[in-house]
Amino acid sequence: MLLSTVYAVTRRLLSLPALLLRSEVSTKAELLVLRHENAVLRRQVPRVRYEPADRLWLAALSSLIPRRRWAKIFPITPATLLAWHRQLVAKKWDYSQRRSPGRPPTATAVRALVLRMAADNPTWGHRRIHGELTRLGHTIAASTVWNILHRAGIDPAPRRNGPTWKQFLAAQAERIVAVDFLHVDTVNLKRLYALVMIEHSSRRAHLLGVTAHPTGPWTTQAARNFLMGTDMTNIKFLVHDRAGQFIDAFDAVFADSGLRVLKSPPQAPKANAHCERIIGTLRRELLDRTLVLDERHLRRILTQYLEHYNTARPHRSLEQLCPSQAETGPPSPVDLAGHQVRRRTILGGLINEYQIAG
């Protein structure tokens, strides 16, 4: 009975403003209904989960309502509403997902190839790997290769010391060849000797012969055999040390071909730095990692390695090209991310060469 009386009184009170402002009655009534429904839901639901769209809508409507009335209208606290608004503003001015200025990131395939070369060749440093990529035709900075290895936790390979003697050799490099001996001890501790020659301009290396007895007559005959099948018209100087194997007859063979023989000073290996460097390369990359059986075996592996040296191994002095590429021109630029790179092993897997699959 009491509830019916309260309802009747409330209805009469609400009908009074309806007579004055009949046009706003419906809107006001809807608002009252929604507010009461909101209060009922607050009592029944302990926690309401809002989607991002709901938060956006409520945050936008909050600008139209005075802050002192937020607690009565919105089903959330003012602090929560302000936090939503701050998040919306922060997302609007967030540039973390946009690409930062500068160089684009290195392709995943290129990074994988760099790590693959480093794993296949433990003695290769970032410069050597950079040269291999340049030889394949992919343009990349040496510092990028270093960063890839550094981020992968790969320690740098031992660095090689380059020559510093630049006086006569630097001025006349295009017309100079140099020869020198290197020695190798076989499995049964027999010492063998190999006579190698290198062209200063093209960095091409040649094997003149292998013997266990490097006498003066043998050295002279090795020079004759080499000149019979080699064009030396563009060469003007021959550099060698003062070893006893280089007798006057040896010098006369090259002098007859128009070459001037230059002997390096005593105990001055840097005066013939190019030969010293290729001998060091032969030891590090081949001879220190191979057990030589006999003279025939040494000649075969040196011939195979020098073929790799002339046709596939990059050289820093040739802008990371191999000697054959330096003569014909650099390869056309390619994107290694879109090509498959294959590995070819030589010398029983001791040396790796990489080529783009055709």
The pLDDT, as a whole number, for residue 164 is 43
Question: Is the residue at 16 inside a domain?
Answer: no
| 173 and 65 housed in the same domain | no
Question: Is the residue at 105 inside a domain?
Answer: no
| 267 and 231 housed in the same domain | yes
| 248 and 329 housed in the same domain | no
Question: Is the residue at 94 inside a domain?
Answer: no
Average pLDDT over residues 93-115: 76
> Counting Cβ atoms within 10 Å, is residue 140 exposed (0-12), middle (13-18) or buried (19+)?
middle
Instruction: Answer whether 0.95 is exceeded by the pTM.
Output: no
Instruction: Note whether 104 and 144 are within 8 A (CB).
Output: no
| 175 and 304 housed in the same domain | yes
Question: Is the residue at 163 inside a domain?
Answer: no
Running DSSP on this structure, what letter comes out for residue 158? P
| pLDDT exceeds 90 at position 73 | no
Residue count (the chain):
358
The pLDDT, as a whole number, for residue 215 is 93
Residue 236's SS3 state is coil
**Euclidean distance between CA atoms 72 and 41, whole angstroms:** 13
| 192 and 286 housed in the same domain | yes
The string over 2-36, giving b where at least 16 C-beta atoms fall within 10 Å of a residue's C-beta and e elsewhere, is eeeeeeeeeeeeeeeeeeeeeeeeeeeeeeeeeee
| 271 and 246 housed in the same domain | yes
| pLDDT exceeds 90 at position 70 | no
Running DSSP on this structure, what letter comes out for residue 210? E
Torsion, CA 131, CA 135, CA 136, CA 138, rounded to 10 = 60
The pLDDT, as a whole number, for residue 6 is 46
| 222 and 134 housed in the same domain | no
| 173 and 202 housed in the same domain | yes
**Euclidean distance between CA atoms 194 and 191, whole angstroms:** 10
| 298 and 325 housed in the same domain | no
Question: Is the residue at 287 inside a domain?
Answer: yes
| 145 and 243 housed in the same domain | no
Q: How many domains does the chain have?
A: 3
**Euclidean distance between CA atoms 183 and 181, whole angstroms:** 7
* Token code pair at residue 77: 């606290």
Question: Is the residue at 303 inside a domain?
Answer: yes
Question: Is the residue at 88 inside a domain?
Answer: no
Output 343 or 329, whichever has higher pLDDT. Answer: 343
Q: What is the pLDDT of residues 168-209, one digit of tens each?
A: 556 666 788 899 999 999 988 899 999 999 988 888 899 999
Domain span including residue 279: 168-311
Average pLDDT over residues 155-169: 53
Q: What is the pLDDT of residues 245-289, one digit of tens each?
A: 999 999 999 998 888 898 888 888 888 888 899 999 999 999 998
DSSP string covering 339-354: S-EEEEEETTTTEEEE
Instruction: Note whether 180 and 276 are within 8 A (CB).
Output: yes
